[in-house]
Structure 1
Amino acid sequence: MVGQANSFIIKKLSKTDIALFFVVVMLVGFLLSRSLLSAGMAGFGATALWNVHLKNWLRDKWWLWGLAWVAMYAISGLWSSDASNWHTRVEVKLAILLLPLSFTLLPAFTAKQLRRFALIASILFLCSAAYSLFFYFKDPVYYSEQYVYSHILPTLVYGDHIRYSLAVALFIVWCVYIWPQLLHRWLRVFIAITIILLSIYLHVLAARSGLLVWYLFLVLFCFRLVFTKKPMVGISLLLFLAAAGFLASRYVPTLEKRVWYVKETYRQYQGGVATSGLSDMGRLISYRLAVDIIKAHPFNGVGAGDMQQEMEKGYMAKYPQVPAEYRLIPHNQFLIVCLGCGIPALVLFSVWAFFPATWGRGAKGRFFLLVTWLSLLLALMVEPMLEVQFGVFVFLFFLLWQRHTLTIAPPPAVAP
């Protein structure tokens, strides 16, 4: 009887039902467990690619460009002396060979499935925000002062506030996109409240990556209103946004300290202070060093496994006073690819990075897709997004999810 019941359930579940389950597993894993995230991606990929002919794989041009530049990373192992580091950097990019293909070959989700995702994902992100705010309200003075030293509120995602805040902001973008398509009044109210609460939370968390995406989206959304059918609404929202942003920077303690920190970093950098304890200084110095190393190894780079070693040599030669914790690989994915694998790999990677700008032509929700892509493109320019598991997931998932949900499947036909 149990076997028959399981067989009945499996037959009732569509491929997209199973895929949606693994999407939720991926989100839970992103927040709580690296291994669960990996399992979710593997399950999602296996579901999407099941019974799909191999010849269909070659139709996804973006996947082919990704395959090309990731292959360059793999080939650079031939001239990388640190095999362990090389293996780690290649392994983390395997999702680039799985998720794009999986989303492309997966049928569209139904409106009902997207409503389920909106509800579940909202609950997950609200709970994750509550986790952070628990610490803040427990000792607001202490945590506010920590922002002077660039110490952010505790978060899930193993404390990776950069990728986490980016995910929260991109989820808000998707919620605004899907909101008009939510049929149930209670769900629309709940999602609207979620958008407001997560927006407030981003200002308390004061992580620049998330705030940059949030403000970028709202400014572009307002201009979209101005140049379409609702110019007065767009102008009013722009004025409100400017006033709200100013007041938040003055009266939200964590954000106020964060603004001071950014100003102080650039003041010292402009003054020629290159050994400050401010972590952003290490980021700026890393750009200088990476460019110098690339000039010495323009064609094939230093090898994906030896990037950290070569950067260490540069720090020792030119900036020996910089503390070890601020000796970084360049926080720019384009520089990283060129540093590790040379200019040919950079060309392939650049085509791959800009290719999503061609997606969704004629689609009603293309604006939201372009905002998501532009936000992630900016993240590539200021973070080593694709060198860590969470960065790879955030980049691929939110970009591909936004593209995939531009098309909504009709509900399944009911048998007479």
Structure 2
Amino acid sequence: MINYSELRLDSGGTLYFKIAKLIEWLIVILALVIPLHGLISSIISIVLFAGVLIYVLLFGLRLPFKPQFSLICLILFSLFYLAHIVGVFYSCNMSFALFDLQVKLSLIAFPVVFFLISAFFPGALNPGRTLIAFATGVVIGSLIMIISAVVSYSATGNPGEFYSSLLSDAFHPTYYALYVVMAMISVTWCWLHDCCKLSSRNTILYAISWIWLFIFLVLLSSKAGLISLAIPVIYMLYVLHQKTRSLIPMIGFSAFFALIFTTSFYLFPISFGRFAVVAKTIETVTPDKGNASESTFQRIMLWKSAMRILREHPLGGVGTGDVKQAFLEDYTLTGNTAGQEANLNAHNQYLQTSVALGLTGLLILVLTFLFPFIMAFRKGAWEYGAFLLLVAFNLLFESMLERQAGVMFYAFFNMVLFTALNGEVVNHPVRSKPL
């Protein structure tokens, strides 16, 4: 029997190789489109899912089945979604429960599809090209937003057009800040993977892209995004050390980053001024004091609501479909009119999951990050570890797995990097240890 895991995609024109090449490009195009348009990325995902499933059903029995990660891993990544299915059975609001399952569908669809891809089309996964495509999509998206802000500013004269939600009107600023930081991690990989001796002709392009992404991140004015900036910076320093075994490149990059960070602090005081507001809010926030319109104050109120609900339903939560109603009832009791009018969630995925599924659901969510992070650490796959830390940190401030923009981003890149971690793939990112 032919071992397809040893065949190259350019070996011929058979149906198998054509399908494998199509899958590879669908994955790359999806990475490009995720930061550009939600609907188009959903359509591409459906095409990818349908194509893989149909081909496997028609021809799967004729091919060797050698998945690059175990069935246990597939179950682990699917368990969070399966727990929400269980939560439907003790929910009263079935319509919202089914809607929530629809939003989170990528959490089980991507693990299943990548499990099949790794088994039948192992050569179709090119994580390097996928990361480059995503970074390109983020750069294109940021350029479009800046151009739109320039047009709006020329009409209104409002400098606020270049900041936060006015700048990123198609995506939540915190979500897009997550995309930007991931793009910086991707550019870091491209830079160091292509420029082992730091002398490639692409070095200037990578450097300009990194600086542009940093500036755009500052303009987004996301507090979580600016704090997350530490992850690509540390990743850059670590890989510089691994590649050069010298302190000089690390010192040079540190000085360079300190320069652009200090410069941006003075050029864009609006973005960094939000941290002063946070400190003041934390000092003054009480049940009857604080600025209800300030995001930090509002988050603290939402977190308190989530903790109250969790104390009443500690093990299984209120159910997948009754989360929204539970929050609205608490907002009414506590007089949180802003939360009630905007129908806000917990703005913390760990608390949001705890309210829906109890501590059981929280444990499952934590394991879906902890287990692969341990694997990434053991195998030296620092790009995957950086991704997991980035998402896990941002879940502290946003319920990102309650919205399509967050679900698809996490589910897609989690499986791209995890599958690459466990198999022989094209252009794998830099590792300090062999697999």
From 247, 257, 264, the counterpart of 2:263: 247
Report the Cα distance in structure 2 between the residues aligned to 1:185 and 1:382, rounded to whole angstroms: 39
Give the partner amino acid of 2:74.
Answer: W
| C-alpha distance 201-302 of structure 1, shift in aligned 2 (>3 A) | same
From 66, 77, 85, the counterpart of 1:66: 77
Classify the secondary structure of the residue corresponding to 2:310: helix
What is the deviation of 1:410? 6.0
Instruction: Name the structure 1 match of 2:210.
Output: 195
Report the Cα distance in structure 2 between the residues aligned to 1:349 and 1:115, rounded to whole angstroms: 27
Under a length normalisation based on structure 2, what TM-score does the superposition of the two structures give?
0.78
Deviates more, 1:121-130 or 1:46-55: 46-55
Q: Does 1:93 align with 2:104?
A: yes
Report the Cα distance in structure 2 between the residues aligned to 1:151 and 1:204, rounded to whole angstroms: 6
Q: Deviations over 1:214-263 (max 9, x none)?
A: 33220353356569822343244334434432332222244244444434
Under a length normalisation based on structure 1, what TM-score does the superposition of the two structures give?
0.81
Q: Does 1:334 align with 2:347?
A: no
Q: Does 1:176 align with 2:180?
A: no
Q: Does 1:132 align with 2:145?
A: yes
Contact 1:110 1:408 (8 Å CA) reproduced:
no
Q: Deviations over 1:167-222 (max 9, x none)?
A: 12112212221334448955554344322322222222222343333332203533
| C-alpha distance 136-408 of structure 1, shift in aligned 2 (>3 A) | farther
From 179, 185, 203, the counterpart of 1:167: 179
What is the deviation of 1:295? 0.8
Deviates more, 1:98-107 or 1:391-400: 98-107
Instruction: Name the structure 2 match of 1:76.
Output: 87
Instruction: Name the structure 2 match of 1:3.
Output: none
Contact 1:80 1:305 (8 Å CA) reproduced:
yes
Report the Cα distance in structure 2 between the residues aligned to 1:273 and 1:378, rounded to whole angstroms: 28
Report the Cα distance in structure 2 between the residues aligned to 1:356 and 1:229, rounded to whole angstroms: 27
Report the Cα distance in structure 2 between the residues aligned to 1:314 and 1:381, rounded to whole angstroms: 21
| C-alpha distance 269-155 of structure 1, shift in aligned 2 (>3 A) | same
Deviates more, 1:242-251 or 1:164-173: 242-251
Give the partner amino acid of 2:111.
Answer: P
Give the partner amino acid of 1:354.
Answer: L
Q: Deviations over 1:63-102 (max 9, x none)?
A: 2123333222112222222222111111111111121233
Instruction: Name the structure 2 match of 1:374.
Output: 389
Contact 1:282 1:328 (8 Å CA) reproduced:
no
From 20, 44, 52, the counterpart of 2:24: 20
| C-alpha distance 311-110 of structure 1, shift in aligned 2 (>3 A) | closer
| C-alpha distance 410-66 of structure 1, shift in aligned 2 (>3 A) | closer
What is the deviation of 1:291? 0.8
Report the Cα distance in structure 2 between the residues aligned to 1:70 and 1:118, rounded to whole angstroms: 26
Tell me how large the CA RMSD over aligned residues is. Answer: 3.6
Instruction: Name the structure 1 match of 2:369.
Output: 353
Contact 1:126 1:194 (8 Å CA) reproduced:
yes
Unaligned runs of 5+ in 1: 1-7, 412-416
The percent of aligned pairs where both chains have the same amino acid is 18
Contact 1:62 1:355 (8 Å CA) reproduced:
no
Report the Cα distance in structure 2 between the residues aligned to 1:216 and 1:118, rounded to whole angstroms: 16
Contact 1:175 1:191 (8 Å CA) reproduced:
yes
Give the partner amino acid of 2:358.
Answer: G
| C-alpha distance 408-154 of structure 1, shift in aligned 2 (>3 A) | farther
| C-alpha distance 60-243 of structure 1, shift in aligned 2 (>3 A) | farther
What is the deviation of 1:143? 5.1
Instruction: Name the structure 1 match of 2:320.
Output: 304
Report the Cα distance in structure 2 between the residues aligned to 1:59 and 1:33, rounded to whole angstroms: 33
Classify the secondary structure of the residue corresponding to 1:79: coil
Contact 1:226 1:235 (8 Å CA) reproduced:
no
Report the Cα distance in structure 1 between the residues aligned to 2:138 and 2:146, rounded to whole angstroms: 12
Classify the secondary structure of the residue corresponding to 1:329: coil
Give the partner amino acid of 2:396.
Answer: M
What is the deviation of 1:311? 1.0
Classify the secondary structure of the residue corresponding to 1:301: coil
Contact 1:282 1:326 (8 Å CA) reproduced:
no
What is the deviation of 1:14? 4.0
Aligned length, in residue pairs = 399
Give the partner amino acid of 2:30.
Answer: M
Report the Cα distance in structure 2 between the residues aligned to 1:211 and 1:163, rounded to whole angstroms: 12
Instruction: Name the structure 1 match of 2:399.
Output: 384
Unaligned runs of 5+ in 2: 1-11, 428-435
Report the Cα distance in structure 1 between the residues aligned to 2:247 and 2:414, rounded to whole angstroms: 29
